[in-house]
Amino acid sequence: MQEILQYLFSGITNGAIYAVIAVGFSMLYSSTELINFAHGEFVMLGALSMVTLAAGFGWPLVPAFVLTVAAVGMAGLLFERLAIRPVRQPDHIVLIIITVGASIFLRGLGMLIWGKDAYSMQPFSDHPPIDVAGAKLLAQSIWILVIVMALTAGLHLFYRRTLTGKAMSACAVSKKAAWIVGIPTKWMVLLAFALATAMGAVAGAIIAPVTMSSYDMGTVLGLKGFCAAMLGGLGSLWGAILGGFLLGILEALGVGFVSSGLKDATAFVLLLLVLYVRPQGIIGSAEVKRF
Amino acid sequence: MILSAKWRTVLTAAAVAVFMVFSQVCLAEASGDNYKIGGIFSVTGPASFLGDPEKKSMNLAIEEINEAGGVDGRKLEAVIYDTEGDPSKTVTSVGKLINKDRVTAIIGPSRTPTTLAAIPRVQRAELPFISCAAGNKIVEPIKPWVFKTAQSDIQAVASIYKHIKQKGIKKVGIITVANAFGESGKEQLQEQASDFGIAVVRSESFGADDTDMTAQLTKIRQEDPGAIICWGTNPGPAVVAKNIKQLDIKTPLYMSHGVASPKFIELAGKAAEDILLPTGKILVADLLGEDDPQKQVLSNYIEAYESRYNETVSGFGGYAYDAVYLLASAMKGTGGDKEKIRENLENISNHPGISGVFNFSKTDHNGLDPSAFVMVRIKNGDWKLVE
């Protein structure tokens, strides 16, 4: 019992992080039909910026967090302006290859700025782990869960209640139709990029205290987030959240009950299964339903 | 086409001139006063933390030997290529060193995969070759021309188990990183356990980039081992250390020599407290007693390296430093005869170096025993020698 609970705690913490990353993938896909393979690198930028500001410069957490998310969001904006917008023939395959190139570039940049060493930082609060029936729940896990939940609720409200959010959803349904009714679609795409990369930064910033951050951490995290997004249904907010938690929990249980060698395999076997059996994901109709 | 007699003379003269210049270059190379020593290190790339200090240390050792008069009055000269940690680039560089630079011996490469790639070439060329990589496969089975200076897992595992045995612990759980370093550690941990009367009750692994190891540690805890041994290089083991503290596991934690650097203490922070690990003596040189056979060599090297390069010395440069000194002592009186150098290398005994006291023989081309390692405990963010 104690073991199962411990596996679940570990799975939920990891799952929450996969979920935030998956939301970034999904969000961008729903408004641009683009899969951003550089997304994991934005997570890395978020984590390393957070460590630098909070641990390196000794800033308080809140400003460090806000500045990290804003800066990485800006980087996403620049990425769209400099690498995606100027493409003359924006075929999907061309754009996706550009994002792969961008991920290699960003990893190189990360290595130049931060070097090859890993960095760590203190948890957000110095509370000892909480004992639940013998299993230990980290204070940072609670932080992660609360932040992820708040973020999801915020995004949900943004898409349902605000004019900008609705305009973004409209772009997602049909860009041309949205343009005809007077929605500045180019701005919406730009906004989607900034928001999606900012989500990546949030994931990086909240994960920094539980693990070690280094320039090459983004690849695996990005792939896991992508798996989670596919699992839940690419383009769906709640699908991404569900996919993230499911992946995290299955991974932890796989390690616990089968073998620790299976950890990464879990994600990719699930991805293959989803692609074979239900390509639209768990949530999401065949005609991808967007936010 | 018929050439006029005049043209023919000019061409012949030109050919002769070219030939003469060429042969003179060759002669100069062959009878040069210097011994050329090849160096191949991963100076750039992911393993540059190994190759960079190795290159610097090789240059340092050669400067020192030359200042002291060289080998039999002849100076040493380093020819160093960068492998970027890549096996195919390594093989190309070895080819260049053998055919173009005509070196007397080769030192390096820095990594086990690159060393294994280079071995067939040097074996065929019959050239003394001293690797700076740790993998035990390099000298097992023995290859006549291949030696290595880095300590290997065998000695590290032996020193950990010796300590565990002294504590009277019978059951251990191990958690190893899923790459070549972790696999080789796991192999040794399982192989040597019975020699010390220890049982490995649970063996787990983790990915090099994993962010959370609590699931694996929970599994290990179920078996209630007397000690947990973690085998990996940064940053994974720091996460393991943190997770163990978070799960409130009180079992003593041992780490491998792979994390024997101040970086680990920085990463693991408070969680590093009380961790035990084996390390080469260079990390704790100032804590060693005056009677330690390596004390003198170590303090000389550290002082020379730090004043010359203005950076903190690492444990890795010593592999190349040792290799140069071993080679220089084997070259004495051979006049550059490769077979004699090889034989002399095999006969070196009681040679105090940075990584340990070397005793080569026909059956041992690493020449180190567990005394190359000392056990240290992390106390207040610093290393303390364990008696």
What torsion do the CA atoms of B265, B266, B269, B275 make, to the nearest 10 degrees? Answer: -10
Q: Which chain B residue is nearest to residue A111, measuring alpha carbons?
A: B46
| B211/A6 touch (CB, cutoff 8 Å), yes or no | no
Residue A234 has pLDDT above 90, yes or no: no
What residues of chain B lie within 8 A of the CB of A120, using their CB? 235, 238, 266-269
CA distance B216 to chain A (A): 7
A202: left (phi over 0), alpha (psi -120 to 50) or beta: alpha
Q: B35-152+294-371: which CATH number, 3.30.70.1710, 1.10.10.10, 3.40.30.10, 3.40.50.2300?
A: 3.40.50.2300
The predicted pLDDT at position B6 comes to 67
pTM of the complete model: 0.77
- Test A261 with B178 for CB contact under 8 angstroms: yes
| Minimal Cβ distance to B212: which of A14, A120, A129 | A14
Interface touch B238/A261, C-beta < 8 Å: no
Whether pLDDT at A4 is above 90: no
B314 inside 8 A of chain A by CB: no
Specify the pairing of strand B357-358 against strand B227-231: unpaired
**pLDDT of chain B along its 387 residues, tens only?**
455 666 666 666 666 555 555 554 444 444 457 899 999 999 987 788 889 999 999 999 999 999 999 999 899 999 999 998 889 999 999 999 999 999 999 998 998 889 999 999 999 999 999 999 988 889 988 999 999 999 888 899 999 999 999 999 999 999 999 887 888 899 999 999 999 999 999 999 988 878 888 889 998 998 999 999 999 987 889 999 999 988 889 999 999 988 888 888 888 888 999 999 999 899 889 888 888 999 999 999 999 999 999 988 888 899 999 999 999 999 998 988 999 999 999 999 999 999 999 999 999 999 998 889 999 999 998 899 987
Domain boundaries of chain A, sorted by first residue: 2-277
Q: ipTM of the predicted structure?
A: 0.76
State how far the Cα of B369 lies from the Cα of B190, in Å rounded to an integer: 19
- Chain segment A153-186, per-residue pLDDT in tens: 999 999 889 999 888 888 888 888 888 999 998 8
Contact A116 B49 (CB under 8 A): yes
Please tell me whether the peptide bond between B278 and the residue prior to it is cis, using omega within 30 degrees of 0: no
Interface check A52 vs B, CB under 8 A: no
The answer to whether the Cβ–Cβ distance between A211 and B48 falls below 8 Å is no
Partner-chain contact B268 A120, CB within 8 Å: yes
Note whether B267 contacts A120, CB cutoff 8 Å. Answer: yes
Q: Residue B179's closest chain A neighbor by CA? A: A261
Helix (H, G, I), strand (E, B) or coil at B255: strand
Per-residue pLDDT at A291 exceeds 50: no
- The closest CB to that of B212, out of A116, A210, A219, belongs to A210
Which chain B residues are Cβ-neighbours of A222 within 8 angstroms?
A: none
Q: How far apart are CA A93 and CA A37, in angstroms?
A: 12
Q: How confident is the model at residue A145 (pLDDT cuts 50, 70, 90)?
A: very high
Query: Which residue(s) pair with B248 in the sheet?
Result: none
Q: Which residues of A216-229 are buried (b: 16+ CB within 10 A; e: fewer)?
A: bbbbbbbbbbbbbb
Contact (CB<8Å) A10/B48: no
Can you read off the two tokens belonging to residue A154? 């915020």
The beta strand positions in A110-248, using DSSP E, are 130-132, 135-137
B247 → chain A, closest CA residue: A136
**pLDDT attached to residue B309:** 93
Contacts of A118 in chain B (CB under 8 A): 234-235, 238, 263, 267
pLDDT at B20: 54
Picking from B205, B215, B269, the nearest residue to A10 by CB comes out as: B215
**Separation in Å, CA of A255 to nearest CA in chain B:** 6
| Residue B144, token pair as written in the block | 């006549």
Please give the CATH topology (third level) of the domain spanning B154-285+373-385. Rossmann fold (3.40.50)
Contact B211 A17 (CB under 8 A): yes
Which of A9, A17, A261 is facing B205, going by the closest CB pair?
A261
Instruction: Please name the residues in contact with B270: beta carbons below 8 A apart, sequence gap of 6 or more.
Output: B245
Q: Would an 8 Å CB–CB cutoff place B212 in contact with chain A?
A: yes
**Which is more confidently placed, A260 or B224?**
B224
Query: What number does CATH give the domain A2-277?
Result: 1.10.3470
The arithmetic mean of pLDDT across residues A39-60, rounded, is: 93
- The reply to whether residue B207 touches residue A207, judged by beta carbons under 8 angstroms, is no
pLDDT of residue B260: 85
Contact B238 A14 (CB under 8 A): no
Count of pairs with CB atoms under 8 A, one residue in A, one in B: 84
Portion of chain A with pLDDT greater than 70, in percent: 97
User: Cβ–Cβ of A255/B266 closer than 8 Å?
Assistant: no
Q: Which residue has the tokens 């192999």?
A: B187
Task: Report yes or no: A10 at the B interface, CB cutoff 8 Å.
Answer: yes
Q: Please give the pLDDT value at position B135.
A: 82
Cα separations in angstroms, B271 against A41, A117, A141, B238, B253 = 28, 19, 18, 8, 11
pLDDT of A286 reads 45
Name the residue of chain B whose CA is nearest to A257's CA. Answer: B219
